[in-house]
Chains A and B, each alone.
Chain A
């Protein structure tokens, strides 16, 4: 390498930037809900295989996130929140991100198929395709309902975790999917209400930009209202005991209460958007606690603490 042509030499991206490309912040919720789906499922799974399944779900989500940032680099560049990501800030070239994303996706799906089963692997592959293509490429730039559909991508982990244990699809994992699906719009629109300037600059049709604040607030309220009975549905169909049922009622009731405050409010410039920020912060805690209660309920049943 003594006669290397300097023109051909490009500083390779730092491995930390590849790690950042997988959106480690989002990963926490992905891993947590996947673990909960796995623990709440009836049946047992070898710990090594359980670890492998969770790893595959996490790596698959990371691959989808990398593909998302490969595709959206120019949009990310004009938004303050995302401008410091590896590609728009110039620390990594787009091709590396693309290859990295495809590699992670492929490896995770193949490993899931070989170690766990091809049903779980197929759903994992579909969830990556759903996020990286259906959502990122197709729907996000086209419809203000993008978040509703994008929520589907985040709703897959508990479903895959559950199916990794049972090997087949039943109503319970689908309900877990639907709960996160319904939770995402109010969660994200609460955020969008207080960062909306950014999205209009990038030309992404976020609900508050397109339909206005009034309509967005009503829709937050509508989804929160639908979430209350839906989150209790696992109890109604007998999939869980009363521990989860009561917890879901209290947690979703609180969610609805905070949504009512956001939904019926009209913001004035400079009011700090306190209720919206509170709803957003609560929505994250909500999902963590709800899924933790699902697992607690299952263990309470195993150890005979509830009828």
Chain B
């Protein structure tokens, strides 16, 4: 973190450094968000395909009651 306490405008080099830092952060953020999209899609597919967790096996309930 560079705190500019004086009132002078940024030099060209400083502006470039700032922009480069921001670009780099944005790229990493894009990668993370893209990864999360894929992850949540995969989780959704798995959840849709999965059987409900505590449902008895087919026919098991009837057998217990009869």
Binding site for B on A (CB under 8 A): 4, 6-7, 9-15, 46, 48-49, 52, 55, 90-93, 114-115, 167
Interface residue? B18 (CB, 8 A): yes
- Type the 1/0 row for B6-18, where 1 means its CB is closer than 8 Å to any CB of A: 1111100000011
With A90-B1, A91-B1, A92-B1 as given contacts, are A11 and B43 in contact (CB-CB < 8 Å)? no
- Type the 1/0 row for B23-35, where 1 means its CB is closer than 8 Å to any CB of A: 0110010000000
15 new A-B pairs (CB below 8 Å) besides A6-B9, A7-B5? Answer: A6-B6, A9-B10, A10-B1, A11-B2, A12-B18, A12-B22, A12-B25, A13-B1, A14-B21, A14-B25, A15-B25, A48-B46, A49-B43, A52-B39, A55-B39
What are 16 A-to-B residue pairs whose CB atoms are below 8 Å? Answer: A7-B4, A10-B4, A11-B17, A14-B24, A14-B25, A15-B25, A15-B28, A48-B43, A48-B46, A49-B43, A49-B46, A52-B39, A55-B39, A92-B1, A114-B43, A167-B53
Q: Which residues of B contact A49 (CB under 8 A)?
A: 43, 46
Complex: A10 Cα to B28 Cα, angstroms: 19
Binding site for A on B (CB under 8 A): 1-10, 17-18, 21-22, 24-25, 28, 39, 42-43, 45-47, 50, 53
With A6-B10, A52-B39 as given contacts, are A46 and B46 in contact (CB-CB < 8 Å)? yes
Once the chains bind, are A9 and B18 in contact (CB under 8 Å)?
yes
Once the chains bind, are A10 and B24 in contact (CB under 8 Å)?
no
| Closest CB in chain A relative to B52 CB, distance in Å | 13
Residue of chain B at shortest CB distance from A51: B39
With A6-B9, A9-B10, A167-B53 as given contacts, are A115 and B3 in contact (CB-CB < 8 Å)? no
Q: What 6 pairs across the A-B complex have the smallest Cβ distances?
A: A11-B2, A15-B28, A115-B43, A48-B42, A48-B46, A46-B46
